Amino acid sequence: MRKIMYYVAASLDGYISGPANDISLFKTEGSGVDQYLQDLQEFDTVIMGRKTYEFGYDYGLKPGQPAYPHMDHYIFTHSLQLENRHKKVQLAQPTLEKIDTLKRGNGSDIYLCGGGIFAGWLLDNGLIDVLKIKLNPIILGAGVRLFGASITQYTLHLRERQLYDHGLQFLTYDLPKYR
């Protein structure tokens, strides 16, 4: 079965973006960023919520187009409508059945892009298998939390730690199953 990997940049205080979706303090160059871009090539499927997909519009993404051209996209939403949707972009209702179908499908592990509300829902339902945090040496103070409003608790064990320039660290954890 395919695993869902939540591979995400975060601040030391647990935010994936600051107030007003500001990401300007996150590292955008260096060996860690190069590694992240290389790692993305290993995924053939990406899942995200509506807000994460629409966040891409601020960086040139056109509605209906894939953010990662080599990946099949599943945007989980109750409300988003897209005209002229690319064949690699699918809209789906956020249901446990749809996630289970994707995990049972063929292909690489699944990249969970973005986070916040959708990542919290996946966490609450025991559907994130691997957490890989690109830990940036910054404190944002407010913004979008790593797992939104989730209050689910886990004890994690560090599988891997990679150090990069500019104080960036990649921390990889396996999440235990409780469902």
**Residue range 100-133, pLDDT digits in tens:** 999 999 999 999 998 899 999 999 999 999 999 9
**In whole angstroms, what is the distance from residue 119 CA to residue 6 CA?**
8
pLDDT of residue 178: 60
Low-confidence ranges of the chain (pLDDT < 70): 178-179
DSSP string, 13-37: TSEEE-GGG--TTS--SSHHHHHHH
Give this prediction's pTM: 0.95
pLDDT of residue 61: 96
**In whole angstroms, what is the distance from residue 127 CA to residue 76 CA?**
14
